[in-house]
Structure 1
Amino acid sequence: MNVCPYMEYTFSILGKKWNGLILYDLSLRPHGAAHFSEIKKNLTDITPRALSLKLSELMEYGLIDKRVTASTPVVITYELTEKGRSLTAALRPIQAWAQQYKPE
């Protein structure tokens, strides 16, 4: 397809199941960060394996980082990068559109 390479790139990320919802979930949290279990709690239909794969995929895109804090026990958080925060900000107008036009 040759409509717009930028839109094609964006939808190659957001068009994959769960990616947009994971990013949105992180955008609602203080500092854009959450533990795996917190994300899983909000996305009730995703399996732990699928969530793990999606988090890895979003890291490959540079949209989230995995932070490992050396403590007992080890604390792992996933947080939006600057690139991820800018994408979630760009999704806000789409959310507003959906709130206005989604059928009841």
Structure 2
Amino acid sequence: MKALKNDPPTCTENLLAMRDTLDILGGKWKLLILHYLITRESQTNTFKKIQREVLGISAKVLTKELKDLEENKLVEREELDTKPKMVEYRITDYGKSSKQLIQQLVYWGKNHRYKMLQS
């Protein structure tokens, strides 16, 4: 990304960081999946359980999103030695670093919803 003449020195760096963040966490489902795993950290979170409880997500999309999150070291997967085969997902320590960001998004979303209802 090329800086414009009037840009402050950190503008390009900040825009690149924002783009990286949106590339990793953007879309309809990734933050919801991370929030789900963070809030259920002490539970066993199998693929089927996540699909059932994250309303509206298809198996195909959940598979893709979990794979992306795993590639970015936010989520880890473990194949359980069961029949039928089950896979458990958990938030990584690095994935937990998104907790404050997610909490801020929830807070902002609640305030925005309230503001829109007042209009």
TM-score (norm 2): 0.74
The match for 1:11 is 22
| Cα distance, 1:32–1:64 mapped onto 2, change above 3 Å | farther
Unmatched tracts of structure 2, length 5 or more: 2-11
Deviation at 1:41, TM superposition (A): 1.1
Count residues in correspondence. Answer: 104
CA contact (8 A) 1:69 1:75 kept: yes
| Residues 57-82 of structure 1, C-alpha deviations (whole Å, 9 max, x = no match) | 11011110001232444442001111
Deviation at 1:10, TM superposition (A): 1.1
TM-score (norm 1): 0.84
- Give structure 1 regions of 4+ aligned residues with deviation exceeding 6 angstroms: none
Structure-1 separation of matches of 2:82 and 2:59: 23
| Residues 14-36 of structure 1, C-alpha deviations (whole Å, 9 max, x = no match) | 22231111111111103375111
Bigger mean CA deviation after superposition, 35-44 or 67-76: 67-76
Bigger mean CA deviation after superposition, 3-12 or 57-66: 3-12
DSSP-derived class of the 1:30 partner: coil
Q: Select the residue among 63, 66, 69 that pairs with 2:74.
A: 63
Q: Which amino acid letter does the alignment assign opposite residue 91 of structure 1?
A: I
DSSP-derived class of the 1:56 partner: helix
The match for 2:98 is 87
Deviation at 1:93, TM superposition (A): 1.7
The match for 2:88 is 77
Structure-2 separation of matches of 1:101 and 1:50: 28
Q: Which amino acid letter does the alignment assign opposite residue 84 of structure 1?
A: G
Structure-2 separation of matches of 1:8 and 1:37: 31
RMSD (Å), alpha carbons: 2.0
